[in-house]
Amino acid sequence: MAELPTFATPATFMGIARTDRAAKFCIAGMPLDLGTTNRAGARSGPPAIRAASRMLVDGQHPRSWVDPAALDIADIGDFSIALGDIEKSLARIEQQAAGLAHLIGLGGEHGITLPLLRALKKRLGAPVGLVQFDSHLDTWEVNFGQQFAHGSVFYHALNEGLVDPHRMIQVGIRSPVHREVWDWTVAQGVTILTGEDVQLLGPIDVAGRIRETLGLGPAYLSFDIDALDPSCAPGTGTPEIGGLLSWQAQAIVRRLNGIEFVGMDVVEVAPAYDVAEITALAAATMVWEYLSLVGDEPMR
Amino acid sequence: MAELPTFATPATFMGIARTDRAAKFCIAGMPLDLGTTNRAGARSGPPAIRAASRMLVDGQHPRSWVDPAALDIADIGDFSIALGDIEKSLARIEQQAAGLAHLIGLGGEHGITLPLLRALKKRLGAPVGLVQFDSHLDTWEVNFGQQFAHGSVFYHALNEGLVDPHRMIQVGIRSPVHREVWDWTVAQGVTILTGEDVQLLGPIDVAGRIRETLGLGPAYLSFDIDALDPSCAPGTGTPEIGGLLSWQAQAIVRRLNGIEFVGMDVVEVAPAYDVAEITALAAATMVWEYLSLVGDEPMR
Amino acid sequence: MAELPTFATPATFMGIARTDRAAKFCIAGMPLDLGTTNRAGARSGPPAIRAASRMLVDGQHPRSWVDPAALDIADIGDFSIALGDIEKSLARIEQQAAGLAHLIGLGGEHGITLPLLRALKKRLGAPVGLVQFDSHLDTWEVNFGQQFAHGSVFYHALNEGLVDPHRMIQVGIRSPVHREVWDWTVAQGVTILTGEDVQLLGPIDVAGRIRETLGLGPAYLSFDIDALDPSCAPGTGTPEIGGLLSWQAQAIVRRLNGIEFVGMDVVEVAPAYDVAEITALAAATMVWEYLSLVGDEPMR
Amino acid sequence: MAELPTFATPATFMGIARTDRAAKFCIAGMPLDLGTTNRAGARSGPPAIRAASRMLVDGQHPRSWVDPAALDIADIGDFSIALGDIEKSLARIEQQAAGLAHLIGLGGEHGITLPLLRALKKRLGAPVGLVQFDSHLDTWEVNFGQQFAHGSVFYHALNEGLVDPHRMIQVGIRSPVHREVWDWTVAQGVTILTGEDVQLLGPIDVAGRIRETLGLGPAYLSFDIDALDPSCAPGTGTPEIGGLLSWQAQAIVRRLNGIEFVGMDVVEVAPAYDVAEITALAAATMVWEYLSLVGDEPMR
Amino acid sequence: MAELPTFATPATFMGIARTDRAAKFCIAGMPLDLGTTNRAGARSGPPAIRAASRMLVDGQHPRSWVDPAALDIADIGDFSIALGDIEKSLARIEQQAAGLAHLIGLGGEHGITLPLLRALKKRLGAPVGLVQFDSHLDTWEVNFGQQFAHGSVFYHALNEGLVDPHRMIQVGIRSPVHREVWDWTVAQGVTILTGEDVQLLGPIDVAGRIRETLGLGPAYLSFDIDALDPSCAPGTGTPEIGGLLSWQAQAIVRRLNGIEFVGMDVVEVAPAYDVAEITALAAATMVWEYLSLVGDEPMR
Amino acid sequence: MAELPTFATPATFMGIARTDRAAKFCIAGMPLDLGTTNRAGARSGPPAIRAASRMLVDGQHPRSWVDPAALDIADIGDFSIALGDIEKSLARIEQQAAGLAHLIGLGGEHGITLPLLRALKKRLGAPVGLVQFDSHLDTWEVNFGQQFAHGSVFYHALNEGLVDPHRMIQVGIRSPVHREVWDWTVAQGVTILTGEDVQLLGPIDVAGRIRETLGLGPAYLSFDIDALDPSCAPGTGTPEIGGLLSWQAQAIVRRLNGIEFVGMDVVEVAPAYDVAEITALAAATMVWEYLSLVGDEPMR
């Protein structure tokens, strides 16, 4: 065991020392929150998630026995954004994501997923599969008057052919919703598991449904922290009660082996509403679970 | 989708514009907290619940496809109370409740349920059935020396014949309790499901037990927010650990179709102890669930 | 004294019932925060300021003996903004401000002042005098890459001829600053009083300096809540220690009689960082002080 | 220096071990808050003040060199109140105060001062002088419909002849107020120093004014914590900005030597709104200042 | 029902009046936190747990019908520790634990368990069985360079022969861990149930596994509050998501009848990170559950 | 102005990129808090101060026109400490401080000042002058049973000849104190200015007294954040009301020109008790003031 106490961990994700873009796995902050529609502050997510990750530094994952910090991994800092301009920010994020082997994005709002998927499409030349943990569909065509806000991400991702709708599953959905948006989403071929579905099925069956939906081929994991119940993740902008417990999210992700993941993000952590760092810790731990999962898989 | 962002929602419940008492459903705040026995502050519940309800404005319930804000509904503001005088306050609440078609009360402490039940008795001429979500029996004859405090509500309701004990069920009970109070309650004919019962039965069976107990005839739903676990509802005066998770409460209420509900309240939200509005949001969401349930039922 | 307890005050500013735009004084919320550069959340300022104003409802100002709530006054709700688009939002704010007799804006970020000054320029046909309480100059040409963010408001206001620089005074300035920005500001003719100046001069002399600078003609008061010390106003996005105490701000504003004020705003309240409502109460009280000041002056 | 660390101090005021009523100075909690009119929770003041007092245990006052914990002093616990019934509670407090040599009350709301003054009147047979630190006059005849709430204390105290109005001074007044209440108070002979007066006079002159007003004869000190600025005392129910800084309150009280004090209270601490115990610490410290002041005076 | 409201409960555990060491059950605070490795502050646990226990005072356990406050029980205050010196503190704790019939320790960090087990070994002359609720193994040989910190407690307990490894079970384990530490622990004969195991088995089966492992003979229950999920217990120093819900912990402990318990502790409550007292209440309630369990068993 | 928004500032002090020990000014965190005697958590001070310093990145000091981030300066990270062992930690800090040109320490508790002064003594070969901002003397021989805790720092510094008592001044003292400790301190030749002295003298005269006391020769500035009033710095372990306002501390330090400073520390920031980062911001700003002061002085 290291002698460095956790409270003196350097302020990168898990205290990772490398900062170059050549690592197999790159972690980057994306402090964009211009498109949020209720409580503000996801811009402050990246440093909070990094700080909370100090709890995960010392040791291996007790199931996969992978130590994420020991992988070929770098924390490349925060992406530059265009303050006050959503579309320009999305363009910059896409540009900075280009050329990275396997990127894990720390949001910021859910809007950051769109340029990350655009960059993947350019690199892979084909749509990816997608598992989206979320309490909201995020397939609104217009989001309170905005075109590229956090509630429209997957409308665009589907329309732009970035995601294969038949390999797309949404897990934890439970917000009020317009029926036409729901119907449109289903009509594209997307699978929806509501928050109640997750509870009644249990995590093992949910993981089975995800593996089944994503099947073969490259896939992406987008984790909106509001998929979790507000008791587990109060620090977010658009909370909805009745969500996943953190053990359930962990139990599901741990069982997604065999999927060819090519990227991941965790979004919508708003630290101003957090309590004792529990939301940031949940976000950091989901990244840790993901890295423990993909850490011993062959890279695409 | 409306263009108005949620954070600019008018300060009524779900931004409802109507304020007249002629609506089919009327929502009213009842800022009474004189009878609380541990932490104070339920007086500040109504504005907090209204503010948190902004998350529920835009769209339909994803199961019933009812949009509560689109019902024949009004937010009629706060009832006048007599500051510093419990009994006078109860009398005023009863008086203001008279003549309303279907009232949803936002507490305030649990004491407000007594005058609401008195008003119903006067209007209906018969006792109602009752489902009470709560961690406490609230059937003490005397509550720390007080006659009409929040722990004595259902002692009076039963004694005054406002509720039919054989059509009354308490869900989530788990506080320390005097055995004679428990025994008296059971002896009246009341059904008790403890917090642990709810966990071990699961929400579908609990809903079945409630439907079975309430049977036919008018019924009332009283939701003490401390029925929820403190992790889901820290902002309350008399918390007890081991409570319902919010998804369980939602799953139960959604399955109470077929019951002839004539009124509802949600009580004991104490915002000074809340975190990131999660308690207030839970309270608002339980009202939204209730409205989604009764929204397409014929009115009595 | 009214019987309505403060905690049941309707959710308008000071519980004001009128909502029409024909009142002599109109209060409006402006929930814009897209241009903030540090901590987010000024969008949530208006409801917090309104809620805190309940403490001011009952009685008269103990110096001017004006009761602001008894003036010819309305709370006209929140201005519509264009979520995610700063410039479009500024245009909308200007448009909605047009035609109002005397507007008090509740921010939102400082960026809202620009369209309010543009609207005044159109109505009055001439630049106004300005007293700006602030810890920052807000005369950057570019604000972290943004043209119309909260740090560039007065650069534009001066460049567009909305404010007469020789009738403009900034009170409480103390942040780190680029010397060329400071020099440019002074070169325009603007008077700067630093935070330390205010402490060493005392409020009576500061008020004298303001009256002297503003002189005759229409004038505007813009109160950035970060002018106050973080101990008095923690709930803001860009705090700077060493600021004004709330009694000093009050003592200054109370002595600005004789100035022909035509409008006012209070900006940068970020409730997610507030404590026990003290920042929101400070903001509400500054509006109350302003209304007590202008309440018995002849209207322009 | 004791070896017991402050965080292990017993939970009495300053860790005082004696609990009998025969001590020269008796400290008692009075957890009444039924008459509060804005934010609730002063009932929880006594344990919070006691806990915060642990910072004051070890050593002497650095001006008077008195160690309050070493006086002939007891912490006699909390007075019994009648939950839910203001007038009965006042009667009980008066009854329990009878026979004590020199009582320091830890509130609870300001309403507790009335029975304490009644008890003093009975014991002394004559009205006392009074210095009241407060942001509110508390001389309303009716307080939001209540007769014996926290805003009417001194109306009754004056009317019942408990206090000599010509030996009564109010320090820190600044809330909105009804002019007739102000005028009535002044007409009784009471001296009022506003919050601004305190700032402009400075604490040495304020202390002089108090000593002058109280003159000879028994006197009482009532310290409403909202006399302090909300930055120093956020944890209270009816905050008003522009208040005294804590050093000013200390500097004033330290200079009240020569007054024949016969009792004291500190009221309106509402811990649910406190931050890092600073309000409770301010309250505890004012008691410590008072005890340091009266600790070496001859007892009446 | 007593007339004393909960908020006026004396500041001992459950308001217990006895303070002598001759009681059958003795409760003591142990404010040691020198060996914590992430967030500090477990030193403040004892008063917070005692304060929160006021919710449990009035009535009986609704399953066992035991009233813990009515047992032969005393709250003997806080143990003396040696500020700044871990090993000396451990020696003092052991010394003060000697001679007590049945001790319940309120931490403080987990390090306090070691001297409590040493004292038991001396008294009983043989190792005890142990059920440890925890998210961490606490069997590191060295803990961030420290020998006797909170992560090494059971390494020493096993090495010193204080606990019988074949009668030892750890429940809720889920932190990152060094594989050699895990393997060493298992190799000693210790049974490990992970956090996920608890969820998938359910509390009834978990209780069965514990009863089976502990078998006959004296046993000890050590409850690290971080066994609970951070949503239920944010106020702790080394939180790990994916933990037990409070109802699960209660349901397990209630079913541990038949085990010959000789002592218990609840550790790692760090009130500075708590929210609305929920962590402290969880800790107090686990003690209440334990006392309800052992309250009618014959004492060893 | 840089385009990087403050919320994306790298997590070093003021975003400083250099990390080598060869810089003229080196900033280092010292996360020791084993010797704290009331509330724990100063270990978490360094990252909080660094995070808050992002507000100070962009621009120059508005009086000295120095930009601290543009100096020959490095943030060399956190010093290694020996977890759980005070004396070993002090030895390590001294060792790591050796050889640095001009060190600014970010505490951690006040105990870190002792090894920093020891290192200076070794380098300079003579005692330094000292200005100590503090609410406590910190000259106890024994601190609640501890020899090297935060209350004994200057007892040792004086006894070991690290500081010249005739060139030592303490500013802001106001805690309860043992008279023999006070008398001993004065007898050494130390000058004491109480908190009240600072208020009554004003910052300009206080600065004069400091310059006069320190005179010629190398000097050290130790800033215990509890010198500030709890309203300005709630996030600390041993708060005392009646302290300096932040503008006063700034106004004093700005006027300490002409003193030959050779090092500085800011200690006792306990983020768990902070509010909206105001304490951490105050600490960061005091470092910024110090750097602005010494930034254009010739180095020793």
| Digit-coded pLDDT (tens) for B149-180 | 899 999 999 999 999 999 999 999 999 999 99
Q: Is residue B299 part of a domain?
A: no
**Alpha carbon of C39: minimum distance to chain A alpha carbons (Å):** 7
- Please tell me the pTM assigned to this model: 0.97
User: Token digits for C19?
Assistant: 């909502």
E149 in contact with chain F, both atoms CB, cutoff 8 A: yes
Q: Torsions phi, psi of C112, nearest 5?
A: -65, -20
Write down the H helix ranges in chain C.
45-52, 86-97, 113-124, 153-159, 179-188, 195-201, 203-214, 246-254, 278-294
Q: Do chains A and F touch (3 or more CB pairs under 8 A)?
A: yes
Does E1 contact chain D (CB < 8 Å)? Answer: no
F in contact with B (at least 3 C-beta pairs within 8 A): no
Distance CA B48, CA D295 (A): 46
Q: What is the CATH number of the domain that holds B235?
A: 3.40.800.10
Q: Using a CB–CB cutoff of 8 Å, tell me whether A273 touches chain F.
A: no
Rounded to the nearest angstrom, the gap between the alpha carbon of residue B239 and the centroid of all alpha carbons in its chain is: 16
- Angle subtended at Cα C33 by Cα C29 and Cα C36, rounded to the nearest 5 degrees: 140
pLDDT category at E143 given cuts 50, 70, 90 is: confident
Query: Which of A3-12, C171-180, F67-76, F279-288 is predicted least confidently?
Result: A3-12
DSSP code string of C183-202: HHHHHHT-EEEEHHHHHHH-
Per the structure, the count of domains in chain E is 1
Task: Give residue D83's domain range.
Answer: 6-294
Q: Which of B5, B61, B285 is the closest to A37 by Cβ?
A: B5
Q: Tell me whether residues D176 and C67 touch, CB distance under 8 A.
A: yes
E3 — contact with chain D (CB < 8 Å)?
Answer: yes
E266 CB within 8 Å of a chain B CB: no
User: What ipTM does this complex have?
Assistant: 0.96
Distance from CA of C150 to the nearest CA of A (A): 10
Q: What is the pLDDT of residues D162-200, one digit of tens each?
A: 999 999 999 999 999 999 999 999 999 999 999 999 999
Do the beta carbons of residue B45 and residue B272 sit within 8 Å? no
Model pLDDT, residue A300: 42
In Å, the largest CA–CA distance within chain B is 57
Give the residue-averaged pLDDT of D26-40.
95
Cβ pairs D/E, distance under 8 A: 45
Q: Using the predicted structure, report yes or no on whether residue E299 has a pLDDT greater than 50.
A: no
DSSP C11: S
> pLDDT at residue B63 above 60?
yes
Percentage with pLDDT > 70 across chain C = 98
Check whether F1 has a pLDDT greater than 60: no
Interchain CB distance below 8 Å, C59 and D178: yes
Does C11 lie at the interface with B, CB-CB under 8 angstroms? Answer: yes
Q: Tokens at residue E263, please?
A: 């002592």
Per the domain annotation, does F203 fall within a domain? Answer: yes
Looking at the complex, does the CB of residue C6 fall below 8 Å from at least one CB of chain B? no
CB contact under 8 A, D2 and F144: yes
Q: Looking at chain E, which residue has its C-alpha nearest residue A277?
A: E234
Assess if residue D300 is contained within a domain: no
Measured CA to CA, the distance from residue F72 to residue F63 in angstroms comes to: 20
Question: Looking at the predicted structure, is the pLDDT value of residue E300 above 50?
Answer: no
* The predicted structure's pLDDT at residue C147: 85
* Binary contact (F6, C274; C-beta < 8 A): no
Q: Is A3 on the interface with F (CB under 8 A)?
A: yes
Beta bridge mates, C177: F60
Distance (Å, whole) CA D210 – CA D200: 15
> Which pLDDT score, from 0 to 100, does residue F211 have?
98
Contact E199 A276 (CB under 8 A): no
Smallest CA-to-CA distance from B272 within A181, F118, C275 is with C275
Q: pLDDT digit of tens for each residue in chain A (300 aa)?
A: 567 888 989 999 999 999 999 999 999 999 999 999 999 999 999 999 999 999 999 899 999 999 999 999 999 999 999 988 999 999 999 999 999 999 999 999 999 999 999 999 999 999 999 999 999 999 999 888 888 889 999 999 999 999 999 999 999 999 999 999 999 999 999 999 999 999 999 999 999 999 999 999 999 999 999 999 999 999 999 999 999 999 999 999 999 999 999 999 999 999 999 999 999 999 999 999 999 999 975 544
**What are the Cα distances from residue F224, in Å, to A45, F172, F269?**
30, 10, 8
Residue D152 pLDDT class (50, 70, 90 cuts): very high
Distance between B116 CA and the closest CA of chain D, angstroms: 20
Out of A145, A176, A196, closest to residue B251 by CB: A196
CB-based touch D/F (3+ pairs, under 8 A): yes
Residue B300 lies in a domain: no
Question: Is the predicted pLDDT of residue D39 greater than 70, yes or no?
Answer: yes
Q: Which pLDDT value is given to residue F285? A: 98
Q: Assess if residue E218 is contained within a domain.
A: yes
Inter-chain CB proximity E38 and A246 less than 8 Å: no
- To the nearest whole Å, the CA of C168 is away from the closest chain B CA by 32
Residues of chain B above pLDDT 90, percent: 91
Contact F274 D278 (CB under 8 A): no
* Cβ contact, residue pair F83, E43, below 8 Å: no
Residue of B nearest to D108 (CA): B40
In E, which residues are within 8 Å of B181 by CB distance? 59
Band (pLDDT 50/70/90 cuts) for residue D136 is very high
Collect all residues of chain D within an 8 Å Cβ-Cβ radius of residue E77.
Answer: 10
In chain E, what residues touch D31 (CB-CB under 8 Å)? 5, 7-8
CB–CB of C10 and B81 under 8 A? no
Q: Residue D284: enclosing H or E segment and its boundaries? A: helix D278-294
D47 CB neighbours in chain E (<8 A) are 7, 11, 51
A81 touches chain F (CB under 8 A): yes
pLDDT (tens place) for every residue of chain C, 300 residues total:
567 788 888 899 999 999 999 999 999 999 999 999 999 999 999 999 999 999 999 899 999 999 999 999 999 999 999 988 999 999 999 999 999 999 999 999 999 999 999 999 999 999 999 999 999 999 999 888 888 889 999 999 999 999 999 999 999 999 999 999 999 999 999 999 999 999 999 999 999 999 999 999 999 999 999 999 999 999 999 999 999 999 999 999 999 999 999 999 999 999 999 999 999 999 999 999 999 999 975 544
Side chain identity, residue B157: A
| Centroid of chain to Cα D129 | 14
* Partners of residue F242 in chain D, C-beta under 8 Å: 246-247, 250-251, 285
Q: Which spans in E125-202 are helix H?
A: 153-159, 179-188, 195-201
Residue among E20, E102, E14, E125 at smallest CA distance from E60? E14
pLDDT of residue E236: 98
Q: Does F44 touch chain A (CB under 8 A)?
A: yes
Element (H or E) spanning B219, and its range? Answer: strand B218-224
Contact list in B for residue C78 (CB cut-off 8 A) is 8
From residue B14, give the alpha-carbon distance in Å to each of B291, C28, D239, F84.
12, 20, 30, 53
Beta-carbon contacts of residue F115 (< 8 Å; ≥ 6 apart) = F90, F91, F93, F94, F97
- Among B4, B56, B62, the residue with its CB nearest the CB of A144 is B4
- Is the CB of residue E80 less than 8 Å away from at least one CB of chain D? yes
Q: Are C234 and F238 in contact (CB under 8 A)?
A: no
* Interface residue D285 vs chain F (CB under 8 A): yes
pLDDT at A299: 45
Reported as a single tens digit per residue, the pLDDT across D244-260 is 999 999 999 999 999 99
Measured between CB atoms, does C60 come within 8 Å of chain D? yes
pLDDT value of position F12 = 96
CB-based contact, B4 to chain A, within 8 Å: yes
Residue labelled with tokens 């930690």 = F89
Q: What is the pLDDT of residues B39-58, one digit of tens each?
A: 999 999 999 999 999 999 98
Residue count of chain B, please give it: 300
pLDDT of residue E1: 53
* Chain C contact set for D231 (CB, 8 A): 229, 231-232, 245-246, 278
Per DSSP, the residues of chain F read --SS-GGG--SSGGG-----TTSSEEEEEE---TT-SSS--GGGHHHHHHHHGGGG-SSB-TTT---GGGSSEEEEEEPP--TTBHHHHHHHHHHHHTT-SSEEEEESSGGGHHHHHHHHHHHHSSPEEEEEE-SS----SSBTTBSSSTTSHHHHHHHTT-EEEEEEEEEEE-S-B-HHHHHHHHHHT-EEEEHHHHHHH-HHHHHHHHHHHH-SSEEEEEEEGGGB-TTT--SSSS--SS-B-HHHHHHHHHT-TT-EEEEEEEE---GGG-STTHHHHHHHHHHHHHHHHHTTSPP-
**Residue A166 forms part of a structural domain:** yes
F55 close to C (CB below 8 A): yes
Q: D299 falls in which pLDDT band (50, 70, 90)?
A: very low
Least confident of A121-125, A294-298, F50-54, F180-184: A294-298
Q: What are phi and psi of B130, to 5 degrees?
A: -145, 130
Q: Classify residue E298 by burial, with Cβ atoms within 10 Å: 0-12, 13-18, 19+.
A: exposed
* CA E239 to mean position of chain CA atoms: 16
d(CA F34, CA E82): 12
Residue C227 falls inside a structural domain: yes
pLDDT in tens, E238-271: 999 999 999 999 999 999 999 999 999 999 999 9
Tell whether E299 is covered by a domain: no
Contact list in A for residue B60 (CB cut-off 8 A) is 176-179
